[in-house]
Amino acid sequence: MSTVTSSSEQSLASVVIVDYGLGNLRSVTRGLERAGADVDITDDPEAFAAADGVVLPGVGAFREGVENADPLREDLLEVAESGTPLFGICLGMQMLLTSSEEGENDGESAVRGLDLIPGTNVRFAEGQKVPHMGWNELDVERDHPLVAGVDGQYAYFVHSYYTVPDDEDATVATTDYELEFPSIVANEEGNVFGTQFHPEKSGETGLRILRNFVEICAAE
């Protein structure tokens, strides 16, 4: 069990970053601190329950992410059920869905995501340049406090798979990369959400989103 704590001088909310062995933890921590959060990096479920909000980061493959996080699966589901904001970033967002084509490669059996936002993750079409890497525009499709002030702004992406929620209303914002894909999704209750891009690498746009997240946490 690991715990790393950092603090913001003007903390608006306490946020836990889930440490399951994958993810850009330090950059996410710095971004959240700039946004006004007191941050713990931990795999301690008791810390999840005590926090105002929980972040599930992720860099890498769906199967590895799901398998690494599996010991914490029930704890993460309890976070969502309790109404605590749960924010998935990049692979962390994909893990909020049910399944992924990436988890079915090489004849292996599929692995199941958290299924908090029903749907699957699919690979960009053959012929498209992958990964989708670099800056691209966010087109807000519906209201959610996470996206206040970011419609038409640009964020930084690095991914080869994109989410396809079962319910189109789960899509909060889209991005165009030869096809329109969901770049921000949320569950019906609004407390579980994710960004396909990296807010911690997205300059002022990303900082605005992280601030919005911290304000969501503070309001709970």
Catalytic residue check, 217:
no
> How much is the average pLDDT of 185-196?
98
Catalytic residue among 64, 102, 198, 217: 198
- 38 beta partners: 14
Identify which of 115, 116, 136 has the alpha carbon closest to the alpha carbon of residue 181.
136
Residue 170 has pLDDT above 60, yes or no: yes
How much is the pTM?
A: 0.92
Residue 17 — pLDDT band, cuts 50, 70, 90?
very high
Catalytic residue check, 132:
no
Average pLDDT score over the chain: 92
Residue 8 has pLDDT above 50, yes or no: no
pLDDT in tens, 81-120: 999 999 999 999 999 999 999 866 555 556 899 999 999 9
Catalytic residue among 90, 132, 141, 217: 90
The pLDDT, as a whole number, for residue 7 is 47
Catalytic residue check, 67:
no
Catalytic residue among 64, 141, 200, 217: 200
CB–CB of 136/154 below 8 Å?
yes
